[in-house]
Amino acid sequence: MTSTRMSRRAFAGTALAGTAALAATVMLPAHRAAASPASLPPPDPTALQAAIDDLGQPPSTAAQLTVAGTAGSWRGTSGVADIATRRPVTPQDKVRIGSITKVFVATVVLQLAAEGRVELDAPVRRVLPGLLPDRFAAVTVAHLLDHTSGLPDHVGIPEPETAEEVFRHRFDHWTPQEWVATATHGPLKFAPGTRQEYRGINYVLAALIVDKVTGRPYGQAVATRILRPLGLARTVVPGDDPRIHGRHVHGYLAVADGSLRDITTYDQSSSRGEGDMISTTSDLDRMLTALFSGELLPPELLQMMFTLPPNGIRMLDGSPARYSTGLQQAVVNGTTFWGKTGETYGYKNAAFSTRDQQRRFVLAYSPTAARGGEESQLIARVADLLTRVPTSEGRAAAVPSLTD
């Protein structure tokens, strides 16, 4: 089916706000990242609960936070999973995790590389013949994974102006091939490997590579290689199913009259491989633990996930590159985190850890604002609280200016 489908990132505001929420609040550019403090303070339960209880900034219906690591653990929830029944949200409730899906896909591609079944330097056209035009011959698998492919912008995707437009198109369906075709018009935006631009289409293609190499849908490979071995029983690759099954948090959007309309159920086909998965904060914390501990990848390939492109490779706006293979880097109050943000209609998430796993945190909440750049405020508050180190005078360090 060829149909219209709006860009979720355009609806949320900008690509930066949509997929790099934590990175947008960093104190230091990624390539000048300070070393993490030798010892982070234990979590402050009172301050953290107050942070997630503030569901007015941004307007949200629910929040879940899991903090773990050697520096201490804490878990809290706030709000309701369903505004109709007023059922309180619990840590076991599933949410849509958006672009955190990319961490799973990148891990599987690297596993296939470790087995000699995928060559990271191979041109994508060779792995997926007939999908990309000849002029994209220089784009490799590695370029997809670290967002240095230079693929063109999508053409033919309506940009939403209102929440009502989202609901009008919520069940539009795309095949992966149709979706890829919308990003093949015109020349590459830059020579592959010379710049960095965060693009979901890179991971739509990466998931198709998993399909081709394994001979089955990428979700089956994720389940076999990651979900079942790690016991992630509440994590799902939904395929063509637009629903969330079992206990879950509903997502809502505020419509023109100010009321909230349920957006939980909608077609995820345009997000296949880059933003369609469902999980819980506990499952995502387990995934971070296993990944960072080396349970899923050999050391040389795991290191790729903690290696940014060379200093000369910049984002399109001139800022330093901040995406590695499958992860992104953010520095808050001098502490370097690796992980991923994710969002989709009615849901926003952040899953991050320090490399030494002193501090991991997974935050999931349900913002309802249709437009604007304020949806990342809760991530910024939580990240600040988890990284403040008291000064020698016993006072907390000054809070940085947090902007998108």
Rg over CA atoms, the chain: 20
How far, in Å, CA of 212 to CA of 24, rounded? Answer: 35
- Say if residue 91 is preceded by a cis peptide, omega within 30 of 0: no
Contact between 90 and 62 (Cβ < 8 Å): no
Q: Name 33's Cβ contacts closer than 8 Å, sequence gap at least 6.
A: 329, 331, 336
Q: Name 337's Cβ contacts closer than 8 Å, sequence gap at least 6.
A: 22, 329, 330, 331, 352, 353, 354, 359, 383
How far, in Å, CA of 151 to CA of 144, rounded? Answer: 9
Q: Which of 36, 60, 78, 99 is labelled catalytic?
A: 99
- Token pair, residue 366, equals 């349900």
- Token pair, residue 257, equals 């009259």
Residue 88 identity: P
Residue 91 burial by Cβ neighbours in a 10 Å radius (0-12, 13-18, 19+): middle
Contact between 140 and 120 (Cβ < 8 Å): yes
- Please indicate whether residue 99 is annotated as part of the active site: yes
Annotated catalytic sites, by residue? 99
